[in-house]
Amino acid sequence: MKTIDFWYEFASTYSYVSAMRIARVAADAGVAVRWRPFLLGPIFKELGWNDSPFNIYPAKGRYMWRDFTRVCDQAGLPLELPPVRFPQNGLKAARLALAGQQAGWSADFTRAVFMANYAERRDISDDATLRELLDRCDVDPDGAFEAANAPANKEALFVQTEEAKAKGIFGAPSFTVGKELFWGNDRLETAIAWAKG
């Protein structure tokens, strides 16, 4: 089966939109999705940014929030802005999402985290929130946190972020089909079509 890699960061606004859309768009095209959580922080740091570019460049930030609102509206997605300073810290959620890949609950958990951040005004860096979301996905929170915090899983997230960088990824969401890179929710359909071939 043709496959697309979906690279996302839990703090990223437009990653929310793609995370909620990709399963259906890919299924319609007969394309399988590999869910690849990674961290934008280390990548931004290499670009010289210690914060989201949407905070560093206020004009870009103002525009993004307005555009993001229109895009969610057009996609029929609820949007309630996050309760804490943007961007939220998605490290714990990313470790959990990665830990859930073998057991197969990554996609469900990923959608739950994005909904919590952008539709339910929750703090996704908070353990209690994450435990509740795992529970909602029928995943045992104790086991999930244990797997997430295992040294091999922490290392795997580091390696995944390095792989993203090596593929030329500089933002999220991104999609890759082999060496072909697509950046941004606006490119989801193009990327799926490319995967379909």
- Choices 6-14, 108-116, 137-145, 162-170; region in contact with a copy of itself by CB under 8 A: 162-170
What DSSP letter does each residue of 134-175 carry, written as one string? Answer: HHHTT--HHHHHHHHHSHHHHHHHHHHHHHHHHTT--SSSEE
Q: How far is the CB of 29 from a copy of itself (least distance, A)?
A: 17
Bridge-partner residues for 35, per DSSP?
A: 6
87: which DSSP letter? S
Q: How far is the CB of 57 from a copy of itself (least distance, A)?
A: 6
Burial classification of residue 113, based on how many CB atoms lie within 10 Å of its CB (0-12 exposed, 13-18 middle, 19 or more buried): buried
Per rule CB under 8 A, is residue 158 in the interface with a copy of itself? Answer: no
- Among the listed residues 34, 66, 85, 121, the single contact to a copy of itself using CB under 8 A: 66
CA distance 175 to 119: 24
> Which pair of tokens denotes residue 119?
């539709």
- Choices 25-33, 101-109, 149-157, 181-189; region in contact with a copy of itself by CB under 8 A: 181-189
- Among the listed residues 34, 45, 51, 63, the single contact to a copy of itself using CB under 8 A: 63
Per rule CB under 8 A, is residue 57 in the interface with a copy of itself? Answer: yes
Interface contacts to a copy of itself, rule CB under 8 A: 47, 57, 59-60, 62-63, 66-67, 70, 74, 168-170, 181-183, 186-187, 190
